[in-house]
Amino acid sequence: MPIRPIVRFPDPLLRLPANEVTVFDPALSALCDDLLDTMRAAPGIGITAPHIGILQRVTVIEIEPGEVRRYVNPKILWSSPDLVTHPEGSVSMPGISEDGIRARSIRVAYQTCDGDFREDEAEGLLAICLQHEIDQLDGIFWLQKLSRLKRERAIKRFEKLEKERH
């Protein structure tokens, strides 16, 4: 499967909500495979279709090598009132991370790449990652969840890194 180019911050595409998937066909399965290969190459532990310029509600997560999770049209049904602080970043903003605050556990509804409906509970890093990626599918780039000070600091660091890369 091909590794796709990743949309980089501050591209406005990263702030657009993704469209619900209505067609479950081999092209959708191929998209999931491409997302996995692109995420591994980045490297990252989560990626959405908007990260590669496709505005569809698809995300792939692989926290432990070989434990790949594919979510189509995911939505959070319930969030724990218990919060946790954890470093977050994005494949669209490589080299930058900041502590974010997320629910410790969630319940999520989604479809498989075949269109089957499922519900799962997630906690810890998987819950954090799902919340992060579902935000992205809703057009909320992770920086928007940070305080103004943390957001500005992260953007300055990223701009400096980008200058050094070019």
Q: Which two tokens stand for residue 118?
A: 């499922």
Instruction: Say how far apart CA 54 and CA 51 lie, in whole Å.
Output: 7
Q: What's the number of CA atoms in the CB half-sphere (13 Å) around residue 8?
A: 10
Q: Which two tokens stand for residue 41?
A: 């190459």
| The pLDDT value given to residue 2 | 86
Q: Which two tokens stand for residue 143?
A: 């920086």
pLDDT in tens, the chain (166 residues): 689 999 999 999 999 999 999 999 999 999 999 999 999 999 999 999 999 999 999 999 999 999 999 999 999 999 999 999 999 999 999 999 999 999 999 999 999 999 999 999 999 999 999 999 999 999 999 999 999 999 999 999 999 999 998 7
CATH fold of the domain at 12-165: Peptide Deformylase (3.90.45)
Cα dihedral angle (129, 131, 133, 135), rounded to 10 degrees? -150
Give the residue among 131, 29, 32 at the shortest CA–CA distance from 77: 131
In angstroms, the Cα distances linking 134 to 25, 45, 50, 73, 129 are: 22, 14, 11, 9, 8
Decide if 19 contacts 49 (C-beta within 8 A): no
Which sequence positions are flagged as catalytic? 133
Domain extent listing, the chain:
12-165
Other CB atoms within 10 A of residue 87 CB: 9
Decide if 42 contacts 94 (C-beta within 8 A): yes
For 98, the 3-state DSSP assignment is strand
